[in-house]
Structure 1
Amino acid sequence: MTDYYFENGLVKLHYYKFGEGPQPMLCFHGFGMHGKQFISLEPALGKKYTFYGFDLFFHKQTKLHDQSLAAVKKGISKQELAALIIDFCAHLHINRFSVIAYSMGTHYATAVTEILGRRIDEYILAAPSSVYPGAIIRLFSKNKTGNKLLEKLVLSKRALINMLNAIKFLRLIDKVGRNILYNEIATAELRFNFYACFTYLRFLETNEEKLIKSLTENNIRSIFIFGKRDKMYPPTIGKAFFAKLKQAEVVILDENHEMINQNFVSTLSRLLL
């Protein structure tokens, strides 16, 4: 595995490259993770794919050129994200590619698929938040009052902890989800990144009609992987969507939200090889 930077007018993007196969796969990790999240796929799938794992915005070594509060509030559009991917692919002479994503990263992969579907071979989502992000994400990202409340909360570690405990008490997230989020608010920088992830990506909300059209017209293989014990994004969130997307492959693992493990690798390898 090697790591690199790609820079354009928006961002200095840090990414990892692993595998040596002829088919490029762009990887979008979950909240609080990093570009190495899918490294466990390399032993089984590294002869078929070359993986490019990005540190996403407000994570690890990737830095926007402007990370001011004003820039965060302005947000990024699907078209701007697609333009970044086009620039990245041009830099590495990538024509067609697949995408794989987990949880928060599924919003990136879905936006790219809506816009650039003509270039995509496979669309693989695990714990697909983009199918139905839920009330909490919509409150803090799309709702002006909710987002302002989150802005106030990030100034106080104690307030954020109390909020997480309240959300868990109301059973809007489970213990696993609460602990993942808790680990991301320990410092002022992490709390800012927590706020920024909700706010900056608010325009990446899935347009079901456009996504289904892109997947169907471009004959993109789509695989959705759920954890049977995932309380954040259980299999039931996809029921209405999958009724419209007839050719989707839906896989349910005996896992909770933290599912990128050997069971995940073995299952996905059987599907892709």
Structure 2
Amino acid sequence: MLPVFKLSNGPLPLLAFHGIGQTHRVFEPLAQALEGRYSVYAFDLFFHGEQPVQGVGDVLTKEAYRALIHAFLQQHQIERFAVLGFSMGGRFALATAELFHARIDELVLIAPDGITISPWYRLATGTGVGRILFRYFLNHVPLLHRFGQFFISIGLINRSVLRFAENMLATAEQRKMVYNSWIYFRKLRFEPRYLATLFNQKPIRIRFFTGYFDQVVPTSFLTPLINSLPTYELTVLKTGHHRLIEKVAKRL
């Protein structure tokens, strides 16, 4: 069972999933803003938090994840609920929505990972050779920086993306966490048209929030899903990636 923390009280349970390098505490301001309307249950994902939970097996499958969330819902006697995910947590929000779509009233996705998969992520996690190279570069950060500068010079990546990556990889502990997370979560993949078919079966309020200056998960990354949805709400905030949860808290 993943560590979960109840941060507020309200009539509708809200399951919240944080981004890479974060913990449940990132949702405390959001929970304060939602007090009285939502019971916010914020999870510490695998390899994150004060007492990180390690993965079970080589990779997290949707079947194993379904069992985890099913056990949580049973334990807390939750029938209907809402889901929120930020950045990497978007993968967990999408997986929850896919597996329990008939029980979900709201889906809130804040710059969500998992809709458009970065080619760098595919390269780093998709094959055994890619995973070996990924580990090698994480153990040779100066080399990774030089490659990053080259990719910036030819327009393959944005400077803010490299800065985000280097902040995430600043220490050996962070590099281990990033490697474990990317590798362990790689099976949480989605087919946008299939998701849209599920979401269209029952009325689910779907809200997207992105940052106008966000180059990590830009608004364009949502296109494969929103093009298949008949109704959704999209709010683009004048901010970058890091301050999105704070800005969304004020909006909600």
The partner residue of 1:146 within 130, 144, 152 is 130
The partner residue of 1:64 within 39, 54, 57 is 54
State the secondary structure of the residue aligned to 2:3: strand
> Which residue of the partner structure matches residue 102 of structure 1?
86
State the secondary structure of the residue aligned to 1:251: strand
State the secondary structure of the residue aligned to 2:9: coil
2-side partners of 1:117 and 1:254: how far apart? 31
The partner residue of 1:50 within 39, 45, 58 is 39
> How many residue pairs end up in the alignment?
251
Q: Identity across aligned pairs (percent)?
A: 29
2-side partners of 1:163 and 1:86: how far apart? 43
Whether contact under 8 Å (2:192, 2:228) holds in the other structure is no
1-side partners of 2:83 and 2:152: how far apart? 31
Are residue 178 (structure 1) and residue 162 (structure 2) matched?
Answer: yes
Deviation at 1:232, TM superposition (A): 2.0
Cα 1:86–1:167 change in 2 (3 A) is farther
Deviation at 1:44, TM superposition (A): 2.3
The residue type paired with residue 50 of structure 1 is: S
The partner residue of 2:209 within 202, 225, 229 is 225
1-side partners of 2:76 and 2:150: how far apart? 46
The partner residue of 2:15 within 13, 26, 30 is 26
2-side partners of 1:130 and 1:206: how far apart? 7
Whether contact under 8 Å (1:230, 1:256) holds in the other structure is yes
Cα 1:123–1:168 change in 2 (3 A) is farther
Whether contact under 8 Å (1:29, 1:37) holds in the other structure is yes
Deviation at 1:226, TM superposition (A): 1.1
Are residue 16 (structure 1) and residue 5 (structure 2) matched?
Answer: yes
Q: TM-score, normalised by structure 2?
A: 0.90
> Which residue of the partner structure matches residue 36 of structure 1?
25
1-side partners of 2:225 and 2:167: how far apart? 32
Structure number with higher relative contact order (C-alpha < 8 Å, ≥ 6 residues apart): 2
State the secondary structure of the residue aligned to 2:24: coil
Deviation at 1:200, TM superposition (A): 0.7
| Cα displacement string for residues 199-235 of structure 1 (whole angstroms, at most 9, x for unaligned residues) | 1111101122331122111321111111111112222
Whether contact under 8 Å (2:47, 2:55) holds in the other structure is no
Deviation at 1:98, TM superposition (A): 0.7
Q: For structure 2, list consecutive stretches of 5 or more residues without a partner in the other structure.
A: none
RMSD: 2.1
Q: For structure 1, list consecutive stretches of 5 or more residues without a partner in the other structure.
A: 1-6, 8-12
Cα 1:264–1:173 change in 2 (3 A) is farther
1-side partners of 2:155 and 2:66: how far apart? 35
Q: Mean alpha-carbon deviation: is it higher for 223-232 or for 149-158?
A: 149-158
